[in-house]
Structure 1
């Protein structure tokens, strides 16, 4: 992967097998440079016996403009799908950098797990066992990728 980072001129973020390529697109030259970096990635993957799963590749644009200009990007002949929100490493972010969708998803998931605990542990008498279930299964969901507020034990 180190040689790939030298080939791509756009900003890069990676974690394990996940790579994000991004840049400020203020002109057609920026759009062209980003598409060229996508092409370089495809060539690098092909040279190294890797296949890009184009169904997992998405485009999201973050802008404050009321009339943004969107460019079409592609992997080979396949156009990349533009989305208004994306889940990255378990955190859902929308095009306005708003985390309301993420909070809603995590809250629903925590309530679902809490319901499971209430149904299956209703006859538990040991309060420490119930607290352990809550802290392990529910609280961990609510605290994953917590973005703000003080951490408490």
Structure 2
């Protein structure tokens, strides 16, 4: 369960504590008791309000503060720059090491199959949520594919663009941009539940959406 609330003043903090108390009562009634030691409190963004002492349990135990939280495979941090998540994607480099030791020879076709199924998914899982905007993170991710394409015999001497051209692979940054555009299209054309997307996208009354033509 996740509880969140914009914090602008002490009253907002008190309201969040009330929500915690209500959730705890519900858990006891439902026989799904919360364990304060397994819960955490993370503040996102700067704030002049320092009342982070939220409590749970009969003994009013203070919930531990956290700088990072992993949620459904994505590591969130308090600044939302997802640096911790980008660092963990280095497991894709470990997978490349396994591939290098497992295959004595990789041709173009074999590499494409192995890379797309075992390496690239690590760099793209849920990337609409955490897509990097800092150049150092963008470069770190692209380096995964840059290094991987050198595994093919005779490709190491080629520059990155030429390797991608021969393998018919786009850059990872292009794939993220394409994925973002697809998601925005789905949101704006009502492919998702509007009660959820309205929390993130608000259209003004005079805004219009151009519907695609059937060809």
- TM-score between the two structures when normalised by the length of structure 2: 0.55
Considering fraction of residues, name the structure with more helix: 2
Match of 1:150 among 177, 187, 201: 177
- What is the aligned partner in structure 2 of residue 54 from structure 1? 36
Deviations 1:70-119 (A, max 9, x none): 3201111321111122222221222111112211111x110011111111
Match of 2:11 among 26, 29, 33: 29
Verify the 8 A CA contact 1:124 1:130 in the aligned structure 2.
no
1:82 has 2:65 as partner: yes
Deviations 1:21-79 (A, max 9, x none): 111122222211111111111110111111223333111112334x5423201111321
- What is the aligned partner in structure 2 of residue 14 from structure 1? none
Instruction: Specify whether residues 118 and 53 from structure 1 end up closer, same or farther in structure 2 by C-alpha distance, changes over 3 A only.
Output: farther
Match of 1:135 among 116, 127, 143: 116
- What is the aligned partner in structure 2 of residue 95 from structure 1? 78
Give the number of aligned pairs: 131
- TM-score between the two structures when normalised by the length of structure 1: 0.75
Verify the 8 A CA contact 2:36 2:63 in the aligned structure 1.
yes
Task: Give me the whole-angstrom Cα distance separating, in 2, the residues matched to 1:54 and 1:130.
Answer: 47
Verify the 8 A CA contact 2:13 2:51 in the aligned structure 1.
no
Bigger radius of gyration among the two: 2
Where does the alignment leave 5 or more consecutive residues of structure 2 unmatched? 132-175, 180-215
1:110 has 2:59 as partner: no
Runs (4 or more) in structure 1 with deviation over 3 Å come to 124-127
Where does the alignment leave 5 or more consecutive residues of structure 1 unmatched? 1-18
Task: Give me the whole-angstrom Cα distance separating, in 1, the residues matched to 2:105 and 2:35.
Answer: 47
Q: CA RMSD in A?
A: 2.0
Instruction: Select between 56-65 and 95-104 the one with higher mean Cα deviation.
Output: 56-65
Verify the 8 A CA contact 2:9 2:49 in the aligned structure 1.
no
- What is the aligned partner in structure 1 of residue 213 from structure 2? none
Verify the 8 A CA contact 1:60 1:83 in the aligned structure 2.
yes
